[in-house]
Structure 1
Amino acid sequence: MSALKGRDIEKFLARPDLTSGLVLVYGPDTGLVSENAARLVKYFAGDPPDPESLSQLHMSEIDADPQRLGILARSPSLFGGQTTIRIRAATNKLAPTLVELLDEGAQALFVVEGADLKPSDALRKHAEARKDARALPCYADTGQTIDTLIRETFAAANIALEADLAPMLRDMLGNDRQVTRSELQKLVLYAGDGGRLTRDDVMRLCGDNAALAIDAVVDSIATGHARRFDDAMTRAAAAGTDAQRLLIVAMQHFSRLRAMRAEIDAGASVDQIVSRATPRIHFSRKAGFEQQLRLWNDDGLAAACNRLAAAILDSRKSGPLAPAIGRQALLAICMAAARR
């Protein structure tokens, strides 16, 4: 079997043990698929790549001219040496042609980019079964891989980070490698070699304005701050946040608080509940969560959930009135918190 996993993938990317054959790079993280394929092309064809030894095709080009891949693979490089062929957006229709060329012993390395292939898919089956092939799955980044990427990226540019900034940045980044790389490079360009990044820098450059505005709305109503609620609603409107989305997120928040409150009533401490919460609570919101859990009891949280559920139903029945319905319900809960 030639399916690589875990650390074996990084070892292979650093020093591939093939000189010809097939390397299938596939998975749900299209950004990482593209990045790993580019690393292989750089290794085999040079940086910048030698145009005489590298050919790049999209699957649509092969569909339009089925003979094109065979001609490229069977044509020797003009100056000798290995031919590298990179194929993007490959589908299972490519499998028979690849098998034919590999069985012929074509002196070419095929770097093939696929989607999230199942074990039964022909491309993946051949890549995992053949001795002259390797399969490199690319799954979404985990917290650990994002941490490593953040550390390596900023260390390479000698950029210093404000305390606790790395965990905050990890939580803000998605799990698509291409998007993560783009956001990190944006920060590197902003800070410059030898520079320094603060929390405000990251929030300004990488923050999801809509998500941040929703968090501000929810936290303001749960702590009873009417003025902050008004400011947060203005920000949410400016970010184009839908009224029903606000109500649904608020409902989820208060339902979560109620579940946490039940554990506290059973004997757990607020600190324990907040620190072990799943999904993890970002450090910048922990103090707010602790305050809310001390402020609300189960009866109050149940009433807030009922109020939000009714508002969600009413807003769906009366589309044009949804913003007003949502604001009225959220403000009522905010005032209830202020009276506690």
Structure 2
Amino acid sequence: MKLDARQADRFLANPGATRLVLIYGPDTSLVTDRARALARRIAGSLDDPFRLAELDAEQADRLPEEATAQAFGGGRKVILIRDVGDKQAPSFEAALATRGDALVIATGGDLNGRSKLRTLAEKHSDAAAIACYIPDAAARGPMLEAALRAAGVGIARDALTLAAGRLGGESGALADAAERLILYAGPGGTITIADIDAVLDDQGTASMHDAIDAALAGNPRAADHAISLAIDEGAAAVAILRVLLTELSGLRLMAEAIAHGANPRDALAARRPPVFFRRQGAVIKAAGSWREPAIIAAIDRALRAEADCKRTGSVPEAIARQTLLGLAQRARG
């Protein structure tokens, strides 16, 4: 059974008689949180060795035996197995072929659509697959606002825009940021831009945007300097490329609007989420340098670069740098 984002929380609250739940994806903090919450819900505790067995991928051959073992003292047994992939698929098939009623909860990385393990979990009648993807730019703002609202804390629109742009990465980082902002503002408080600057560090995000803006405006030297700063400040190469892809998508929408007669400022104003005011001049300048066919080619180049970063033996920082500098040369030309 394949579960989408809307179905996942409801299923995790009550998985019924499902015997295998595969929780996977690039958002590793969400994968871990969901797996451990489900294990706790079924086993009652994460500290009961009679109800919960924890394995790593190299111990997958124990799954058929563990899946048929009865929990001492009654109740349903849970097997939590980490970092699995296609190599372990036969062990999961063997476990599902047994008559046990234990719940196997498996966590994995970013399994693609051809993954044997993912296909097994999606197609088998006693299994379920839940993907956990990193929130995109459009989702981060509403997620942060909802978390603050639940705690009785408000946030100004411009502060929310700044925070959403600064909070790249996994959902765990967003939850941590929300908690810090809630503690800082206190019940009934309202978060401002000054509060965002005081509480949330950039983790390379400001320099990352500087590098992307410089590249798309055709300034290789500034782009090279900013990407060095972003990497020194902790920005991951894949994160830089994903922010680049988001920016190129927004630039493509602007190019379409301009081609149909809109002026650059109106095209910029229509972007969602809004572009933070400090970046608006750079984005308008980039919109004057790029047309839709070139943007499509740039998106393709960034996607290939992201894939290259994940190959064994690659140097992701060098790939991200070469990609941005190549786009800077293209924009300047």
Same fold? TM cut 0.5: yes
Aligned counterpart for 1:23 among listed residues 21, 30, 42: 21
TM-score, normalized by length of structure 2?
0.64
1:84 aligns with 2:78: yes
What is the CA–CA distance in structure 1 between the aligned matches of 2:98 and 2:211, rounded to whole Å? 64
Unaligned runs of 5+ in 2: 215-224, 234-246, 291-333
Q: CA deviation at 1:110?
A: 0.4
Q: CA deviation at 1:22?
A: 0.3
Unaligned runs of 5+ in 1: 221-232, 242-252, 299-340
Residue 166 of structure 2 corresponds to 172
What is the CA–CA distance in structure 1 between the aligned matches of 2:213 and 2:113, rounded to whole Å? 45
**Letter paired with 1:283:** F
8 Å Cα contact 1:270-1:290 kept in structure 2: no
State the SS of the aligned residue for 2:97.
helix
8 Å Cα contact 1:161-1:198 kept in structure 2: yes
Structure 1 pair 189/269, CA: closer, same or farther in 2 (3 Å)? same
1:4 aligns with 2:3: yes
What is the CA–CA distance in structure 2 between the aligned matches of 1:105 and 1:97, rounded to whole Å? 15
Q: CA deviation at 1:80?
A: 0.8
Q: CA deviation at 1:52?
A: 2.8
**Letter paired with 1:111:** I
Q: CA deviation at 1:83?
A: 0.2
**Letter paired with 1:4:** L
State the SS of the aligned residue for 1:285.
helix
8 Å Cα contact 2:21-2:121 kept in structure 1: yes
Q: CA deviation at 1:8?
A: 2.0
**Letter paired with 1:128:** E
Larger radius of gyration: 1
Once the two structures are superposed, what CA deviation does each residue of 1:303-331 show, in whole Å capped at 9, x if it has no partner? Answer: xxxxxxxxxxxxxxxxxxxxxxxxxxxxx
8 Å Cα contact 1:274-1:289 kept in structure 2: no
1:274-289 alignment runs, 5 A limit: 274-276=268-270, 282-285=275-278, 288=281
Once the two structures are superposed, what CA deviation does each residue of 1:94-130 show, in whole Å capped at 9, x if it has no partner? Answer: 2222222221111200010112223332211211121
State the SS of the aligned residue for 2:130.
strand
State the SS of the aligned residue for 2:54.
strand
Once the two structures are superposed, what CA deviation does each residue of 1:276-306 show, in whole Å capped at 9, x if it has no partner? Answer: 45x966232266459979xx999xxxxxxxx
1:1-340 alignment runs, 5 A limit: 2-18=1-17, 20-46=18-44, 50-60=48-58, 62=59, 66-67=61-62, 69-208=63-202, 210-212=204-206, 268-276=262-270, 282-285=275-278, 288=281
Residue 222 of structure 2 corresponds to none
TM-score, normalized by length of structure 1?
0.63
Q: CA deviation at 1:217?
A: 9.9
Structure 1 pair 290/27, CA: closer, same or farther in 2 (3 Å)? closer
Structure 1 pair 112/271, CA: closer, same or farther in 2 (3 Å)? same
8 Å Cα contact 1:59-1:88 kept in structure 2: yes
8 Å Cα contact 2:145-2:155 kept in structure 1: no
State the SS of the aligned residue for 2:268.
helix
8 Å Cα contact 2:69-2:102 kept in structure 1: no
Q: RMSD of the alignment, in Å?
A: 4.4
Q: CA deviation at 1:132?
A: 0.6
Q: How many aligned residue pairs are there?
A: 270
What is the CA–CA distance in structure 1 between the aligned matches of 2:89 and 2:134, rounded to whole Å? 25
What is the CA–CA distance in structure 2 between the aligned matches of 1:214 and 1:128, rounded to whole Å? 37
Residue 313 of structure 2 corresponds to none
Residue 333 of structure 1 corresponds to none
**Letter paired with 1:285:** R
